Every structure is written in structure tokens, then in C-alpha cells.
Amino acid sequence: MQIDLSGRTALVTGSTQGIGAAIATGLARAGATVGINGRSGDRVEEAIGRLRGDAPGAEFVPVTADVTTEEGARRAAEALPRVDILVNNLGIFDSADPLEITDDEWRRYFEVNVLAAVRLVRQYLPGMSGRGWGRIQNIASDSAVVIPAEMIHYGMSKTALLAVTRGFAKQAAGTGVTVNSVIAGPTHTGGVEDFVYGLVDRDLAWDEAQRVFMREYRPQSLIQRLIEPEEIANMVVYLASDQASATTGGALRVDGGYVDSILP
């Protein structure tokens, strides 16, 4: 399958590292101009330098803004007034005793993991609809469906993101704009390495720590390993393409078979 995103402009939030950086690389390799987003100008420029090595000849635009705030969303729009492909990847996660999660922490997870995406969809969907083409993708998680006992607040926010996606897909009906969620399974990133070592013996080598984590905390995985960020990016690039024009309102899984369901 030949995917050509030439002439399209994408914004990937939280794209200086991890899954976001892999998605940005994949979109850029397919020909899109990609907005790289982070809160620190230095980190954004550093990330763009790395990404240019991974996608030679690609065009990247720095989007330095804290998109979890209304002001940050406005700054993102100033940097990229027109966006054809919006990937709401930014999110926070951590483990916590469910009975110790404060009201403020519940609100913070909703603000960052849900409202930040809602604001950007509100900002860019009208333009996409007016042009008759657009792709919006919200990066969700297996935790939206299989709520971990140690991450209830995170799971709640990702479940809400699935609902937001379905609702905006209905808003975009008939416009040529598709809106989908990508349910990412347990993925290998620097942040996840820290998370894993918060749950298993820190003296273990990484390969063994990963195996212990998957066996004890994510035994449902059918691939029995963490997913690599590039594997998430492959799905995002496809959904951003013309070939995915009939896929909308969906929650598509890249979870290694973690969610025990025969439905997507």
C-alpha cells in the first residue's frame, strides 16, 4: 500500500519523544508537513533535529505550546493555522492507590487527557469540514476498556476519550472528515520503563523486568511483549491516508491482543 500525504499538514501533540515522535516520523515519511509540539522550545528544536535524521527531507514546524491550556491551544493555532491531520497524542499516566487519588488529581487527568483533545478538535474541525477533508485521531489506551486497578483515574480519562471521539465523528458526518481513536496497548517508551520499574524489582535487567511486568500485570497480551512506538505509528499513518476514508467513529486497537474481545 502506497500512502502519500504530500500537501497535508499534521499536528501531533506531545511529539518530542515516545509514541508522539514515532507518529510524527511516520507521517513525515509519508510526505506530510508535521507540527512538532512540546512545552519547551529547546526540547521541540532538539526533537526536530532528531526527526530530520529519521525522515530526511521532511518538513517539520515547531509548535511550542502547552496545549493542556486554552492559551496553549491558541498558540498552537497561531503556529499552525491550518491542520489537515490532527493527532491528539499528549497524555499523562501513573499508578496510584485508588482511595488516595485526590479530587484535584481526578480533575488534572480529565483536563490533560480529555479536554486538551476536545479544545483542539473544536479549533480545527470547522476548517477541515469546510475544505471537505480531514483526519482526527485521539490516542487512547487499552486502559480505556480494561481499567487497571492501579490506574483508575487514567483509565477513566481514556474511556472518556473514546466517547469524545465517537461524538465528534457524528458531528463530522458527511463532511469528508474522519474521527477515530487508536487504542494503544502496553508500549515501550522511556516513561513506561520508569512505570515498569515502579512495579517490579529495579535490580532486574530491562528484558527480564519487561517479561515480569507483562506476566504479572498484563498477562492478557497475546504478543507477550511491549509494543514498539513505530507499531502504533503504522496504524496512525494508515488512518491519516485517503485509503482509510470509510473508517470513522471507530476505536481501532493496536494492543497486541491485550483487550479480550472479538470486536474492534
Do 13 and 92 form a contact (C-beta atoms < 8 A)?
no
Whether 154 is a known active-site residue: answer yes
Rounded to whole angstroms, the maximal C-alpha distance in the chain is: 55
Q: Is beta strand 251-254 parallel, antiparallel or unpaired with respect to 134-141?
A: unpaired
Task: Identify the active-site residue in 109, 154, 217, 258.
Answer: 154
Residues taking part in catalysis: 154
